[in-house]
């Protein structure tokens, strides 16, 4: 999915930041953070721009993006479904929940549906262990989630989207 010229121009603010910091290559992580925040992912078209401005090889940027799970080359869906895989959630069936989302949406963890509506993400403990197993959709927390709730949750969101 290619970015429009307009979307690429949005990067100008980050370029300003880079130049204000004398194109310091040690700013790479911060620049990637800002990029991920701006677009919701790291668009491949932006990588050569970062490379040129920070004077870092493209291959090195790819290495960093793929190393850190908080960065992604894949656009996130409008609804980012995160399944907590921390111990408390795991022992209460988080794996089954994750698989059920995968089955229903026909995508794997870390992927986004073609209509860009849903992504499935696996997270570590989010600190709500008393509510295990926990699923979050964007910022909304669903406590004591059950595999049986998967279909209903997706149907509810789809219905909301249609109206």
List interacting residues with ligand FES (CB under 6 A): 84, 86-89, 125-129, 132, 134
CB of 147 to ligand FES, least distance (A): 15
CB of 127 to ligand FES, least distance (A): 6
The CA distance from 61 to 115, in Å, is: 28
CB of 85 to ligand FES, least distance (A): 7
Q: Which residue lies nearer to ligand FES by CB, 120 or 134? A: 134
Residue 92 near residue 83, CB atoms below 8 Å: no
CB of 35 to ligand FES, least distance (A): 29
Q: Which residue lies nearer to ligand FES by CB, 27 or 100? A: 100
Residue 108 tokens read as: 């794997």
Residue 119 tokens read as: 């992504």
Q: Which residue lies nearer to ligand FES by CB, 5 or 70? A: 70
| DSSP line for 82-132 | EEE-SHHHHHTTHHHHHHHHHHHHT--TT-B-TTSSEEEEEE---S-GGG-
């Amino acid at each position: 999915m290619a970015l429009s010229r307009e979307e690429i121009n949005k990067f100008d603010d980050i370029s300003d930041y880079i130049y204000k910091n004398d194109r310091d290559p040690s700013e790479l992580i911060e620049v990637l953070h800002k990029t991920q925040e701006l677009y919701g992912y790291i668009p491949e078209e932006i990588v050569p721009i970062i490379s040129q401005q920070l004077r870092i090889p493209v291959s090195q940027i790819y290495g960093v993006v793929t190393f850190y799970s908080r960065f992604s080359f894949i656009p996130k869906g409008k609804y980012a479904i995160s399944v907590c895989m921390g111990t408390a959630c795991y022992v209460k069936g988080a794996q089954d929940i994750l698989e059920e989302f995968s089955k229903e949406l026909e995508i794997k963890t870390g992927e986004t549906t073609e209509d860009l509506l849903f992504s499935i993400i696996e997270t570590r403990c989010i600190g709500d262990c008393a509510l295990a197993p926990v699923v979050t959709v964007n910022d909304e927390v669903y406590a004591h989630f059950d595999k049986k709730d998967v279909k209903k949750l997706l149907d509810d969101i789809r219905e909301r989207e249609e109206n």
